[in-house]
Amino acid sequence: MIDIDAWMKSYLQILNETFGNRVWFVGLQGSYGRGEAIETSDIDVVAILDELSTTDIQSYHAMLDTLPHRELICGFLSGKEELMNWEPSDLFQFCHDTTPIKGSLDEVMAVIDESAVNRAIKIGACNVYHGCVHNMLHEKSEDILRGLYKSASFVVQAIAFKETGNYISHQKDLLQVVSSAEQAIVETFLTLKNGGTVDFNLMSETLFAWSQKRISDND
In this structure, the answer to whether residues 14 and 51 fall within a common structural domain is yes
In this structure, the answer to whether residues 118 and 157 fall within a common structural domain is yes
Q: CA 140, CA 68: separation in Å to the nearest integer?
A: 36
95 neighbors 112 (Cβ within 8 angstroms): yes
In this structure, the answer to whether residues 87 and 122 fall within a common structural domain is no
In this structure, the answer to whether residues 170 and 80 fall within a common structural domain is no
* Residues, the chain: 219
Give pLDDT tens digits for 72-128. 999 999 999 999 999 999 999 999 999 999 999 999 999 999 999 999 999 999 999
In this structure, the answer to whether residues 30 and 83 fall within a common structural domain is yes
CATH number at 23 reads 3.30.460.10
In this structure, the answer to whether residues 11 and 101 fall within a common structural domain is yes
Give pLDDT tens digits for 19-32. 999 999 999 999 99
Number of structural domains in the chain: 2
- Is pLDDT at 4 greater than 90 in this prediction? yes
In this structure, the answer to whether residues 130 and 187 fall within a common structural domain is yes
In this structure, the answer to whether residues 178 and 193 fall within a common structural domain is yes
Of the residues 109, 126, 157, the one at which a domain ends: 109
Q: H helices within the chain, ranges in order?
A: 4-19, 30-34, 54-64, 80-84, 88-96, 106-109, 114-134, 142-164, 171-174, 180-193, 200-216
Predicted confidence at residue 218, as pLDDT, reads 61
| Global model pTM greater than 0.85 | yes
Q: CA 148, CA 139: separation in Å to the nearest integer?
A: 13
Those residues whose C-beta lies under 8 Å from the C-beta of residue 203, and which sit 6 or more positions away, are 145, 149, 188, 192
In this structure, the answer to whether residues 77 and 11 fall within a common structural domain is yes
In this structure, the answer to whether residues 71 and 156 fall within a common structural domain is no
- Is pLDDT at 49 greater than 70 in this prediction? yes
In this structure, the answer to whether residues 183 and 123 fall within a common structural domain is yes
Q: CA 184, CA 207: separation in Å to the nearest integer?
A: 9
Domain range holding 77? 4-109
Of the residues 41, 76, 109, the one at which a domain ends: 109
Of the residues 62, 87, 109, the one at which a domain ends: 109
In this structure, the answer to whether residues 99 and 10 fall within a common structural domain is yes
